[in-house]
Structures are given as C-alpha cells and as structure tokens.
Structure 1
C-alpha cells in the first residue's frame, strides 16, 4: 500500500472517530486560554510522546517536492487537538543532500513532548541553469499552499515555525522575511548565510567538485549579477514585521562566518524584532555532537514567544 493511501486511510479514521470541527470549537476541555494564544501556549497545549510517520508525501508535481510527515498520535479523547506546524529545511549548499540530513534533528524534536506536527521537506536542488533561487522559493509557496489545504484533516492550528540548517536556514529566513512574514510565527536558522553579497560567502562556498554553490543558486557569478545576490539575501528584507528569529552559529565555523548572524541580529534588534543570537564557541559548521543542544536552544527560544 502506498504511503499516500496509508495517510488517506489514517485521516479518514481520524475524521470518523474524532469530534467534528464544530464540536471542537464548543468543547470546553479544548478551549485555549489567553496564555495558550501565545506560540509557547500552543506548543505546550498537549504533551506528544508518539508520532505516526509518513514518508515521501508529495506537495507538488516535481520529484523533489516531497516531505516526511510526523503526525502526533494522541489519545482518543484528544484526537481533535490542534498542533503547531514545525517545518524543517535541510542543508547542503542549495544543490546537495536531502531531508534525511535532518533525521537526527527530527528525532530530537520528537523527544521534546511539544504539541507539533513535523514536516521535514525537500526542495528542488539548484543546478545553475534551470533551478535557481526563485524556483526554490516557488517550492516553498507550493509547499505552504499544500500545507494549508491539510489544516482541517491534520488538525493544524495557524501557528508555523520554520527551522533550517545552513543553506536550509538561508532559505527559511528568505521565505519568512520575503513572503511569510504574515503567517510564519518564528524562524530558527542554524549556521545560515544571510548576506550572499559578502565575499566570505559567495567566494568561499564550494562543493567537493569545485563548484561555487552560490553561483549555482543564483545562476550567475557575483561579478555577473551582484543585484541578484543581494535580492537573495534575507538581511536585506528586515522590517518591523519580520518574524521572531533565532540565529545559532559556530565559533569554529570556517564556512559560514558568525558575522553573518551577528549583522542580521543587529539589524533585527534595531527595528525591535524579537530575536536572539547564540554562538556555540567550539562548534564547526557541522555542529558535530551538538544536535540535542541545538534543539534545546530552539525550544528555549520558542518558549519565550
């Protein structure tokens, strides 16, 4: 049986066994208090310890437009409890790797007991010629349109957290700042490039084949298209409406310098956007052995919102 068919059967079971949307709104045990109207309140409205998992679900027509879904497995009397959406975006220099890169982070998030439905997403990989920054942003718009179509069937509330690692952090910040500032409630970016026009970024991010991955993302070199590099830099989209942002960097990261986060932190602070910059002194770009620490820092930040 296909994964999509399994999910459809599961959702049908939920709809038949749970309360209706109307009865959910009227049921006293599930009314949110004023405290629960905060993001932290929604994150702790229920304690989730088990998940039903569905792999490689499609959100679009392209092969890479897929995601893994981790759906809270609740007791029968809480089937209609709504959850926060936690969307994870993998790293890999925009042109490499996939969602499996973040599997250890998914497992760590699952152990936090948070009231979240987890979406670990793929996007099309940059190839310099056809798939560049605008196309990847289109993937995000396609994903969120798909996500919003599932709000009732998956019992999702309107709270969304976008969490990304390295290039995935850049993409998360870019989408949240450029397009999602009205419906993304928080963004967490780990070792993320924030200003592609910085020579420390566009002159130094290469893969093991010697390809300049910023050039792959933009489709041209910085010398050919400096404006496009600036347009793809989230640091240039900060406003007072920018979502709350957590930035975590490694003190021994020689790929993405901590100044990428510090400069964004300063700009966010200047316009009074809730944000926090965290430096892990001994960490490299790979954040080896830091998975649980990074998740704990993420949860601590979200608990303050």
Structure 2
C-alpha cells in the first residue's frame, strides 16, 4: 500500500507563518501555523485543522499535507496546538480550540482571511474537538479564557474524520484515553462524559458537517459516526456521511483514501465556503 508523504516540501509560492502564540496557559504557550498562497489578493475562507492523538500526543504539523493542499487551492489554512490530557483535563483542550478560532477571526485582516467563512477539520481526537467547538459555538458551555472573548466562534462547515461523537458509550468509556482526558472515570462522574460528547449539543442550526470513517476502525468504532449521523438526521442538519468499507483508523494516511478525502472535502468546501477548485 502506498502512503502519503506526511512531511511534504513546502512550495515556494506558499507563505508560512509559524509558531504564532494564540494563548498563554499555565502549562505552556499555545501556537498555530498559517499557510497562504503568496498571490492571494482578496480575503479568502480559512480552514482550521485540529490534529488527533488520543488527546495526549500529536502536533500542529501533523496536517501539513492538508494545509498545503488547500492553501494551493486558494484557501488560507491554519493548524493549532492544544493542551493534552496529561497537562490539563477536560475542558481545557476544547477551550483552547475555541480560543484559536477567536484569535484567527480577530486577526483575519492581517492574514488575508474572510472571517465570515470558516471551516474546522479534525481527525480522531481532533474531530471530537472540532465538533464540540462547532456545535457549542457562541454558547457559554465552556469558559474559554480567551483574550478575544467578544469574537464569535461560529463556523460555516465541519469536517470530522473518524472522531468520537459520544463518550458515554461502553466502548468509549472503556478506552484508556477517555478517563485520562476527562480526569475521572465514567462511574465517578457520568454527567461530565455527556457534557464532553458533541452529540449532546446538536441542534437544527448547526453548520453543514462532512464525516469520513472506516468500517473496520478499532480505535474509534464506526458506530460513533453512525450515532452522529442519526443525531444530524434527527435535527435536520445538512451533512454528508462517507462510510469507507474495509478501512481502519488513520486511513487517510494511505494514498487512495487521502485522495478520496480531498476530493469530497474540496467539493464540500466549494459549496459551503464558496472557495475555488
């Protein structure tokens, strides 16, 4: 099987702003990277990527392949770091993502961004955080402690790549990463697991959502996306659900799935962010 190059060379035409501090925490400075085509003239939609890693590992460089691909398609792209479970338990990570969204919107004019056209993309734990931030946008569920608290966190589109949507299920509860993320076992504090589940917050006014998930995923079982699909249907939220038969977790590291993912994501962004091919 062929795999994508996760550390592609950055084209000369792509301007990169690295390690921009968007939030100071007691644990560390949280940073983001921004990518844009040097010939971009008009403000463009921004796609914000949130890496996975069981809420305990990973880095903002993990989605470089996507950041470059979509910067070359005429979008501004960004990738965020956030605090891990071993640094600060829930809701720290989602509060960080909310602050990142606010920072990017507040500084949109500096980076050629149209702040009215924002998409979140996350894989695995990053998909969970993307959904949680998007489905609770402009609500007071999570006190984010941002410098830009007056800025709206509403986004126009979400891409969830094999992210968990319901942390109250038996499988999610049994995963070692989940209680570490929550800071408590389900038996001790079941209510907080519901609070941390994106499907808790789905309402008819939520943004269009695209989900991709492999049918033999043993890390985040596809039932998590089945639950999400059902909740989105029940609430009449515009969405696409792609169940990829015979594929497992991190399936988009393979060339065929990555190409397929970019194809459907590009179509999705063109429709909901008014981007260019």
Q: Report if TM-score (shorter chain) is over 0.5.
A: yes
Structure 1 stretches of at least 4 aligned residues deviating more than 3 Å after TM superposition: none
- Pairs within 5 Å for 1:93-242: 93-111=54-72, 113=73, 115-127=74-86, 131-157=88-114, 158-179=116-137, 183-204=154-175, 212-242=176-206
- For the 8 Å contact 1:108–1:291, the answer to whether it is kept is no
Counterpart-to-counterpart distance in 1, 2:170 and 2:237? 27
- Pairs within 5 Å for 1:245-284: 245-284=209-248
Counterpart-to-counterpart distance in 2, 1:266 and 1:236? 12
Counterpart-to-counterpart distance in 1, 2:122 and 2:162? 9
Counterpart-to-counterpart distance in 1, 2:85 and 2:121? 20
Q: Give per-residue Cα distances to partners, 1:133-161, cap 9 Å, x unaligned.
A: 22112212321232122122222111100
Are the structure 2 counterparts of residues 91 and 168 from structure 1 closer, same or farther at C-alpha, using a change threshold of 3 Å?
same
User: In the alignment, is residue 87 of structure 1 matched against residue 44 of structure 2?
Assistant: no
**Which residues of structure 2 form unaligned runs of 5+?**
1-11, 140-152, 273-277
Are the structure 2 counterparts of residues 58 and 239 from structure 1 closer, same or farther at C-alpha, using a change threshold of 3 Å?
same
Q: Give per-residue Cα distances to partners, 1:66-107, cap 9 Å, x unaligned.
A: 011102211xxx63x011011000000011111122222323
Counterpart-to-counterpart distance in 1, 2:98 and 2:125? 17
TM-score (norm: length of structure 2): 0.82
Match of 1:249, SS state, is strand
- Which of these two proteins has the greater Rg computed from alpha carbons? 1
The CA RMSD over aligned residues, in Å, is 1.8
Choose between structure 1 and 2: higher helix proportion.
Answer: 1
Corresponding residue for 1:292? 259
Corresponding residue for 2:270? 303
TM-score (norm: length of structure 1): 0.75
**Which residues of structure 1 form unaligned runs of 5+?**
1-48, 205-211
Counterpart-to-counterpart distance in 2, 1:67 and 1:83? 18
Higher RCO (CA < 8 A, seq sep 6+): 2
Most deviating of 115-124 and 134-143: 134-143
- For the 8 Å contact 2:166–2:227, the answer to whether it is kept is no
